[in-house]
Copies of this chain bind each other. A is one copy, B any other.
Amino acid sequence: MDLGTYYRGKRVMITGGLGFLGSNLARALVELDAEVLLVDALLPLYGGNLHNIESIEDRLTLEIADIRDQEAMNRLVPERDIIFNLAAQVSHLDSMANPLLDLDINARGNLVLLEACRRLNPGVKVIYAGTRGQYGTPTESPVREDHPMRPTDFYGVNKVAAEQYHFLYRKVCGLRATSLRINNTYGPRHQMKHSKYGVLNWLIRVAMEGKKITVYGDGSQLRDYNYVDDVTEAFLLLGASSEVDGQAFNLGSGEPISFLESVVGIIDTVGGGTYECVPWPDERLAIEVGDFVADYSKIGRVLGWSPRVRFREGLERTVEFYRQNWPHYWTS
């Protein structure tokens, strides 16, 4: 698959395009000479950040719009070749505190977008950003795509529903949907305002500020972290393949590590910060799934994807990015 040939001139839309995954994907697509439309609602609690498209602003189109706005989606969806659908409420904790908001964004918002596709671009290719949170507590490991989906929070329940909506639109109108079930991802351009999601990135800030990182329990739970460039490559490969329609794919790192190891890696890479282990807070323990290791052999087999950036290298790149850019992501 020559991605350059495929994406050149393709009309690509990215929902959540000013966010972490969306903006990194946008950078890659601009480099591939795609015609890029970013759609983002810039909701204050999430990761949309204009600095994320610094230096590529002139090579794309930006629409500040919410996927829940039917008129806006009807206006934006026509004539797109590919939609990378990444807009979401992404905090597990907030979904427990406000399930109706999570439903509104993560379930209804996707239906609004998909209804626009049905009416105005029925056969469009859509890549949906799924999540490991769809699986809930693993009953077997590594977790394959056919693992039962029994999420531990409303976020996961609504992400499952939205993924299934995407696949059902194949019956409704011939939509070509694929889901990429993403693990914990880290890297440049993640929000650093709060710790409600994307905790690995948050901890980089804590270490950079020379503060103490809090580890719940003994930190022994395994995690499967992907560096954002590897996730971007997976999106690009899925968007360029016709044999993945109607299917879901895991990602993984090939080097699952404990949460505590990741903390030590951060402190070491940053050269600052400390850590302390404390008992699990009830609200966190209630949605914690324990060890999570993904089986990502399917996307390897079908598209030849494999993770390229090892954890320490990814950390170094991330820390370097925030050293250069931190004032755009937090105020000291």
Q: Which residues of A contact B (CB under 8 A)?
A: 96, 99-100, 103-104, 107-108, 111-112, 114-115, 146, 148-154, 157-158, 160-161, 164-165, 168, 171-172, 286-287
Distance (whole angstroms) from the CB of A79 to the closest CB of chain B: 23
Residues of B within 8 A of A153 (CB): 168
Interface centre among A100, A150, A151 (most CB of B within 10 A): A100
Given contacts A160-B161, A171-B287, are A111 and B99 in contact (CB under 8 A)?
A: yes
Residues of B within 8 A of A151 (CB): 164
Residues of B within 8 A of A160 (CB): 160-161
Asked if B161 and A165 sit within 8 Å, CB to CB, the answer is: no
Of B96, B107, B171, B286, the contact of A103 (CB 8 Å cutoff) = B107
A161 to B108, CA, bound (A): 13
Residues of B within 8 A of A112 (CB): 100
- Given contacts A96-B172, A151-B164, A153-B168, 13 further A-B pairs with CB under 8 A are A96-B168, A96-B171, A99-B168, A100-B108, A103-B108, A104-B108, A108-B108, A146-B148, A149-B149, A154-B165, A157-B168, A161-B161, A171-B286
Using CB atoms, name the residue of chain B closest to A97.
Answer: B172
